[in-house]
């Protein structure tokens, strides 16, 4: 964070040639345990690292979701000199709908309030990975509508000065796969420290 912005920062060149557009919707999500995060960041597009993390119970994949990423809301602070205010950080949120309602009550109860996981979320061709762990808030509203579908609505929140990192989506990871270890016991220990 720069309290005194200057021309000393090296800013990458702006790519102004729009060749391909990216389509929206948070289509796939994964939670990466904080103990495995650096392993994924070492080569985020390497499918083997992801499969190893899944088999080690350090990554949880949700292959079919719908939802949105809010892009961040600015947290402003006191300004100095002629600046009226200063950007301190962003409040970020990703809201998804998980359609697997009936059998996931224990899963979401254990994750509720956890701050042990970084979030990876995918739009059409881009995977975003947070640079801070997120808070996880699942809800399971039942509407007064005979034709409505009951699903999990899950909100992931985090605060950071940096936008999420962007990568290509690793092959074969964000899909429903029957991995060998089907009776998983994930590390749901509760971390109540603040970022």
Whole-number pLDDT of residue 177: 61
Please give the helix or strand (H or E) that residue 107 lies within, else none: helix 105-111
* Residues with pLDDT less than 50, the chain: 1, 179-189, 194-195
Task: Tell me whether residue 38 is in a domain.
Answer: yes
| Alpha-carbon torsion, ordered 185, 138, 96, 133, to 10 deg | -70
pTM assigned to the model: 0.78
In a domain, 156, yes or no: yes
2 occurs within a structural domain: no
Q: What does the DSSP 8-state code read for residue 154?
A: E
Lookup: tokens for 108: 């979401």
Tell me the HSE value of 190 on the side-chain side, using a 13 A CA sphere: 7
In a domain, 103, yes or no: yes
Q: Is residue 18 helix, strand or coil? A: coil
Containing domain of residue 139, as a range?
28-71+86-168
Does 141 fall in a domain? yes
13: in domain: no
Is there a domain that residue 123 lies in?
yes
DSSP H or E segment with residue 127: strand 126-129
Q: Yes or no: say if 54 and 25 are a contact pair by the CB < 8 Å rule.
A: no
Work out how many domains the chain is built from and give that number: 1
Residue 21 in any domain: the answer is no
Pairing of strands 59-62, 73-78: unpaired
Instruction: Quote the pLDDT of residue 184.
Output: 47
pLDDT single digits (tens) 75-97: 888 888 777 888 888 899 999 99
């Amino acid at each position: 964070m720069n309290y005194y912005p200057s021309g000393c920062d090296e800013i990458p060149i702006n790519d102004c040639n729009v060749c391909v557009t990216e389509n929206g919707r948070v289509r796939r999500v994964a939670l990466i345990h904080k103990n495995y995060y650096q392993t994924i960041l070492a080569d985020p597009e390497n499918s083997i690292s992801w499969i190893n993390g899944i088999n080690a119970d350090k990554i949880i994949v949700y292959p079919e979701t719908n939802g949105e990423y809010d892009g961040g809301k600015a947290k402003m602070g006191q300004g100095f000199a002629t600046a009226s205010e200063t950007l301190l950080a962003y409040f970020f949120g990703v809201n998804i709908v998980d359609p697997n309602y009936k059998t996931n009550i224990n899963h979401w109860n254990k994750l509720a309030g956890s701050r042990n996981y970084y979030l990876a979320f995918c739009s059409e061709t881009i995977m975003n990975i947070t640079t801070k762990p997120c808070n996880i808030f699942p809800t399971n509203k039942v509407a007064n509508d005979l034709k409505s579908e009951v699903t999990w609505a899950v909100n992931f929140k985090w605060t950071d000065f940096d936008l999420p990192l962007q990568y290509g989506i690793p092959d074969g990871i964000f899909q429903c796969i029957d991995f060998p270890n089907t009776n998983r016991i994930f590390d749901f220990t509760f971390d109540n420290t603040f970022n």
